[in-house]
Chains A and B, each alone.
Chain A
Amino acid sequence: MTEPSATPPPVSRRRLLGYAGAGAAVGAAGFAGGIGAARATDGPHGEGVDRYAFHGTHQAGIVTPAQDRLHFAAFDVTATSRAELLLLLKAWTAAAAAMTQGRPVGGGVPLPYDAPPGDTGEAAGLPPGRLTLTFGFGPSLFRDADGKDRFGIADRQPAALRRLPHFPADALQEQRSDGDLCVQACADDPQVAVHAIRNLSRIAFGSAALRWSQLGFGRTSSTSTSQATPRNLFGFKDGTANLKAEEPKAVDEHVWVGQGDDDGAAWLADGSFLVARRINMMIETWDRTSLREQETLVGRDRHVGAPLSGGTEFTEPDLSLKGNDGQPLVAMSSHVRLAHPTQNNGVRMLRRGYNFTDGNDDLGRLDAGLFFIAYVRDPATQYIPMQTRLSRDDGLMEYLRHTGSGLFAVPPGVRKGGFLGDTLLT
């Protein structure tokens, strides 16, 4: 065992490897105009552009400009006592605070040669990669399948935190759905994101077990006006009308849970709800579809991303503008129309999806699609009604198959000295 001593000062991965003082610029100047809460202040080198603060009012990884890579994981809690759950969340908090700042888990404390290293090591030498770790609680953490209170918190379960309903044409796989806890790891480097989930998973052994996870690449949403709109695997720009960090009022209205939203779950104020959906795309049949039909189904021009009613990428679609056949230029069953706020009681959501390709299926078809992540203030009024309409009426559904699903309550950010979920558990 290590010598009992005062906690050593945090050691950066770089310093550990003898690269102390190396410049931290990672060519991410694009988000210099990002919002204050996302600015780095926790790092040993002070403010930098390669890391985001872990502590704050809200968890990082929500309005934070979307990084390029994702490793999302859901866990089943195997702990049976509240004390064990608390220990897990405290250990995760410490590890997350370290890893997001580019420090190894365990603070780089020397361990006996015959002990396994405190950190798994594969991110040593890599910059923090703007890693964010965002945690959520599933409905099953509060009550088990029989409705039994698992950790004395059932009376604090948010009213909106329920398993999502069955949507038309759902083809959900149990092994890719739900979970008691979730962690969204986003970073510019896949190795940094995978390293984070691997370490959290390791820390959890005995208290929680990995239930399912998903790797993602190529963010499919912009969460900041500083970012160009990316493309999904259908080749179309995705997230043009997404909520952006630069719209704090709209984010307050549509993303953050307010103080009085749910009297039974006041602990969730400043938190949010995370909707995760694994959406397979029928890549092969899509690629055989005429461009006319592709654009009609989406409601946008593929090249520029402008709505078919005209303009440029960021022009609001004119849903009433008709063509010479008397039909709207943005078709009634098009994705853009059905997802538009005016068709959904004005609600918006902050999307944070990623493309994925998990190799292929038994028939040699790409197992690929969009791992959809959205943050909403109230899933019952924002996500559920919209997805019901999309699943039923969206022409794109012909080419989509929802294979995984989860809904999680995302607690507020961790204050210095606090831990994940402390507003719920203390």
Chain B
Amino acid sequence: MKNRRLAAALVAGVSLPALAACTDNSSSSSDATDGRTIAVTSSSDACDLSSDTAPSGRLVFTIKNTGQEVTEFYLYAADGKRIVAEVENIGPGLSRTLVVNADAATYVPACKPGMKGTGIRSELTVTESGGSGKASAAVQEQVDQANAAYREYVEDESGQLLAGTRRFVAAYTSGDDARARTLYPTVRVHWERIEPVAESFGDLDPKMDAREADLEAGQKWTGWHRIEKDLWPPSDQPYTALTKAERATYADQLLADTETLHGRIGKLTFTVDQIGNGAKSLLDEVATGKVTGEEEIWSHTDLYDFQANIDGARVAFEGLRPVLKQKDPALESEIADRFTALESMLAQYRVGADGFVSYEKLDTTQVKQLSDAVNALSEPLSKLTAAVTL
């Protein structure tokens, strides 16, 4: 599957501050009654707050852009420099919500109509109310660790993908089909573990991972699934095996693209929200393509991909787990339990050390069980990003 969702975030260089409290657009009606909701009106020359005081803890800012230009809202610490939270890119006439967990302190709110300059600033006094959303130095350290560890993981997997692809294309071009068929699912595991990252390169993904049905009229089909069809030729439709020269062409292309991918991945850095959303989209991949057997339509090795997607999501989750444990322990244990449930269900279909039965061996009831377990995990996992960034 093509995954375009992380593309903007990773390739276009959009980045969110590692621990900026920026869960836009969520709202809580109960906040309105106890001074926890602050209406901000950002016009071309003013930045009006409905209150200049608030109790500590969870605060909801509703920012309405009444000006003619794009605006932003920042909440700075008392020094006027450190960004506590922000909302960017509010079009004229639009409203956004910003949720912040604020400790008792003085803050400097600022609107930036036209997104220029230091903004129209004022002062907000947050008084002690027992509520707190302290982003302690320890948490920040955990976040930094999670980011670094995830980066290492992605680069390591991409390195293994490259090494494995070399072995795979060597077997395939030499005509050792049996070995190529054995390597195919186990090498692709390294792709599937980092799928949202690998797919974020919009120029490489269609060349490397397009399925036949993904093509548009006249588009050349290359990559893993093109070779898959040649290794597991269909019995129910006419198929002409690739010649030795054609095999070499496709194999060389795949290897060259994998090298490009590995080079680019080495330059990436990650933020917490990218890791959290990456985990969620790995489960989406499972729900959309793997659990339905559509990803590996010729080889039926979907369960390898299934496991690999879960592996990747698990690593992302484990990295953020210490942060989540502090911020939302109930969610942390729920996600952990459901990972375990899904993994043990999938383990029933293991064969040998690192293999799985063919997808075709599963009956509808078994697929439904797996799908239910995926849903059960995906739902709390979709709350991970908001939980760790706030």
Contact = CB atoms under 8 A, between A and B. Distances in A.
Contacts of A391: 216
Contacts of B94: 301, 304, 306, 308, 310-311
Interface string B279-318: 0100010011001100000000000000000000000000
Chain B interface, >50% SS class: mixed
A386 B368 CA distance: 36
B385 A285 contact: no
B101 interface: no
Interface stretch (B4-12, B165-173, B261-269, B331-339): B4-12
Nearest to B383: A288
B43 to A, nearest CB: 13
Contact of A310 (B93, B291, B368): B93
B216 A363 contact: no
B371 A363 contact: yes
Interface residues of B, number: 48
B25 A288 contact: no
B91 A290 contact: no
Interface string B1-26: 11111011000111000000000111
Nearest to B291: A363
A288 B284 contact: yes
A323 B13 CA distance: 13
B12 A333 contact: no
A325 B13 contact: yes
B65 interface: yes
B253 interface: no
Contacts of B2: 169, 397-398
A331 B214 CA distance: 22
B233 interface: no
A364 B25 contact: no
B12 A325 contact: yes
A18 interface: no
Contacts of A331: 8
A293 interface: yes
Contacts of A365: 371
A184 B12 CA distance: 44
Nearest to B114: A324
Nearest to A308: B91
Contact of B8 (A288, A329, A333): A333
B88 A323 contact: yes
B255 interface: no
Contacts of A345: none
Contacts of A291: 24-26
Instruction: Name A's interface SS.
Output: loop
B91 A306 contact: yes
A293 B5 contact: yes
A327 interface: yes
B182 to A, nearest CB: 30
A325 B12 CA distance: 9
B70 A363 contact: no
A121 interface: no
Q: Which of B8, B14, B115 has the most CB of A within 10 A?
A: B8
B287 to A, nearest CB: 6
B364 A362 contact: yes
B160 interface: no
Contact of A363 (B72, B88, B367): B367
A166 B88 CA distance: 40
11 contacts: A170-B213, A288-B280, A297-B5, A306-B94, A311-B94, A324-B70, A324-B115, A325-B12, A329-B89, A333-B8, A392-B216
Interface of B: 1-5, 7-8, 12-14, 24-26, 65, 70, 72, 88-89, 91-94, 115, 213-217, 219, 277, 280, 284, 287-288, 291-292, 364, 367-368, 371-372, 375, 378-379, 381-382, 385-386
Interface of A: 165-171, 282, 284-285, 288-293, 295-297, 301, 304, 306-312, 315, 321-325, 327, 329, 331-333, 362-365, 388, 391-392, 395, 397-398
Which are the 4 A-B pairs with shortest beta-carbon distances? A310-B91, A323-B89, A288-B382, A310-B92
